[in-house]
Each structure stands twice: as structure tokens, then as C-alpha cells.
Amino acid sequence: MKFTTTKTDLQTSLQKLSKIIPGRSTIPILGNALITTDKGTIIMRATDLEQTMILTIPASIEKEGSSVVPIDTLLNISNELPDGRITLSVDAKLNVSIKSEKGDYDLKGMVPEEFPALPELEEHNAVTVPSELLKTIIKTTSFAISGDDLKPALTGVLFQFKDGGFTTVATDGHRLARYHIKEFDSGGFSGEIIIPKKFLSLSQNLLGKKETVEIQIGKNHITATFENDTVHSRIIDERYPDYESVIPTNNDKTFIIDTQDIISAVRRVSIFSNRTTQQIAIKMEKEAQEITTEDPEKATRAKERLKGEYSGDPITIGYNALYLKELLSYIPNKNVVLKLNTPISATVFYPEEKEEGRETTMLLMPIRLND
């Protein structure tokens, strides 16, 4: 195999592929890319056995073939080379040669036949998702995905196609994010799947100028196609919790405040909070609202007045400052609305100005305040 391509095309593709390779693996070949020539293009493939990424770049092909090459080594030399053309060739003994105007570099490849095969996509349903919508979904929900492998259903985002709408949900048990599109053409598909966080992260890196993303949903796998690039993933085979039952509908206290104002206040006050609990308290009554914290161990405390609009009986509620800051940062609006009930029940957050046909809803569980 022998081909020539630009440093930029090769480097960009390798950067994307590097996101999929596992940090630690007992299977050495997973740190490599399978490179194959195909009619004036180079097809590069990498996998961690759960997800597979396939990228296509233009090239001048001198000799057809394929090889398995270490991604890190090839990326590192690409990063250091100046812009220009790079020629890569592989001989029958798997010796890989990289040539540029700066010099020649050699390394050893692996047998292509040993690279993991592509997953077979069984009978599937095709769904077309606007690129901007997928980008919004990933941004709005991914932060709430759980990192607890003992709860596999919560380590991904629920995609639910139901009643002519499209709902995505993520939760880690402490917070929940839901993004709902009231009317969505799913191509006749109705059902729900749980998509791994890594698949969404990889997809986000591939979102480009194309207005839509083609998603194929099978029984065990999902495939997303972005122009000439593709990501395959295994679906999380678990039952998602009944998220609708935990979203309160009777929260009768309302607090409306500028989103950036409350984020800034939380950032400042939390500097003085306990490093372990990150506990802050928000006291709300009609006449005034304030945010406070105290750490008796270090004899630190802080208090700030908040300028918002509150209606309902007075309430003081505690939150984890890190969770609150992060949740608020994904509210896509100048003002945020908090709907509350008691100091120990979930608070509902949503933007004051709602998008037509779309709903953003977030939940945060409070923490008990110290007496």
C-alpha cells in the first residue's frame, strides 16, 4: 500500500480517531487504526469494541492495500510536521514508512486481518435528525449522565420516540436533564433506546456543515452517518427508569432570576463552602432572597443578596454548588425559573422564555442543611 495525502487531512482524522481508542487495554491492536485505500480515498477505522469510527480522507493512491498502524505514533509525527504532503507506504513485511519534506520515519504495522471486524447492523429503522438539534441534545443532556457503571442504564442518554414527539433524558440520580421536541418526524419509528455517552461525544466531534445526520437504529447497535464519516455503537441493553414519575408537577413556589447573575453568585459564595459537601443555601421570600454558605472547620462564611422575583411561602433550601453551577450553565436563556415545593424535594429548572415546539426541563435534588 502506498498513498499521499495532506498533513492537515491526516492530522485531523487521527485527532478524531484518538478519541475512541481505550486508555488502557489488554488488546494491543485497539490502539491502532486500520487504513485501507479505496478509489482515490483513504478509509481509516478505529474501535474500542463498543464503538467504531470510520473516517474518509482524499488521497493520491499509488498502490492499493491496507495496514494497521499505531494511532498515537502517527498522530504525534503529524502534529510535528509542517503543512505539506505526507506519503505513507507499507511493504509485505508490514514495515511502515512515512515520508515528508522534512525526513523519513519508519515503524512497524500489524496484520490487517487481526483488526476487529465491523459490527453487523441487523434490521434497522432510519431516523434523520437535524445537526443543530443533535448538537443541542448532546449539550443539554450529557452533563447529567451518570459515571456509575453499577447503574448501566444511567450511563447513557435515553432517546424516546413517542406520540409523534422526540424526548431525550439523562440523569445520575442527583440531577436530571430532559429535552423534548413536541413534533418530530421519526420516519415511522416508535420506541426508545439508551445511547452511550461516548457515542454522543464522538458524534459531536464529527458534526460539520451537513444539515442532517442519518441515524440507523437496530436491535443492538446504532449507526450515525456524518457526510463521509460514520460512528457505530452498541446500544445499552437496559431498561431506563420511569423518569416522568420523578418530575414534580405540584411545586407551588416560583423564583425567577437572571441566569448569569445566580451562576456568578454561586461561584463567589461557594469559594467559602466546605470542600467536601460544597453546600450552599438559598433563602427565598417575597421581599428578599440571599445565598449563603458556612464552613465551621475553616471558619469561613459568605453571603450575597440575590435580585430575583419570588412568589410563595418562604423557603430555605440547600444545594451542592458544583451541581447547581453546572446545571444552570446549560439553561439556554437570559432568565431561569425555579419551581420549588419543600427543602427536601426536587427543584425544577427551566428557561423563562421557551422555544416554540421545544422544552428544556432540569431537576436538581437538594441536600439537607446543617442545623
Q: Report whether pLDDT(87) > 70.
A: yes
User: Which pLDDT tens digit goes with each residue over 277-328?
Assistant: 999 999 999 999 999 999 998 999 999 999 999 999 999 999 999 999 999 9
pTM assigned to the model: 0.91
Of the pLDDT bands very low, low, confident and very high (cuts 50, 70, 90), residue 123 is confident
The domain 125-245 is placed in CATH, from the list 2.160.20.10, 3.30.10.20, 3.40.50.300, 3.10.150.10, at 3.10.150.10
Of the pLDDT bands very low, low, confident and very high (cuts 50, 70, 90), residue 371 is low
User: Which pLDDT tens digit goes with each residue over 163-188?
Assistant: 999 999 999 999 999 999 999 999 99
Q: Which three cell numbers stand for residue 195?
A: 445511547
CATH number of 247-364: 3.10.150.10
Mean pLDDT value across residues 62-79: 95
The strand ranges marked E within 124-164 are: 125-130, 156-162
Among 90, 88, 85, 79, which Cα is nearest to 101's? 85
Q: Report whether pLDDT(68) > 90.
A: yes
Q: Report whether pLDDT(333) > 80.
A: yes
User: Which pLDDT value is given to residue 121?
Assistant: 72
Among 84, 61, 82, 44, which Cα is nearest to 206's? 44
CA atoms within 13 A on the CB side of 110: 16
Judge contact between 22 and 50, C-beta under 8 A.
no
Please give the full DSSP string across 4-32, using - where no structure is assigned.
EEEHHHHHHHHHHHHTTS-SS-S-GGGGE
Average pLDDT, the chain: 94
Q: Which three cell numbers stand for residue 278?
A: 460544597
Q: Rounded to whole angstroms, how far apart are CA atoms 125 and 82?
A: 44
The total number of residues written for the chain in this structure: 371
Q: Tell me phi and psi for residue 261, to 5 degrees.
A: -65, -45
The SS3 call for residue 131 is: helix
User: Which pLDDT tens digit goes with each residue over 4-39?
Assistant: 999 999 999 999 999 999 887 789 999 999 999 988
Domain residue limits, the chain? 2-114, 125-245, 247-364
User: Which pLDDT tens digit goes with each residue over 246-261?
Assistant: 999 999 999 999 999 9
2-114 folds as DNA Polymerase III; Chain A, domain 2 (3.10.150)
